[in-house]
Amino acid sequence: MEMSVLHRQGMSIRAIARQLSCSRETVRRYIRSPLPVA
């Protein structure tokens, strides 16, 4: 959820990945997912 909120606020995928210590592909997956991820 936090990833999609940050992305909606205009933060780049790369910046989100860096801030949350995960891969850019993981961030992309969470953002594209139509279902909320627990």
pLDDT value at position 37? 62
pLDDT one digit per residue (tens) for the chain, 38 residues: 689 899 999 999 999 999 999 999 999 999 998 776 66
pLDDT value at position 36? 67
Question: In the chain, what are the domain boundaries?
Answer: 2-32
- Position 29, amino acid: R
CA angle 9, 3, 32 (to 5 degrees): 100
Structure tokens at 37: 């991820």
Give CA–CA dist 38/32, Å, rounded: 15
pLDDT value at position 2? 87
pLDDT value at position 21? 96
Structure tokens at 12: 């780049």
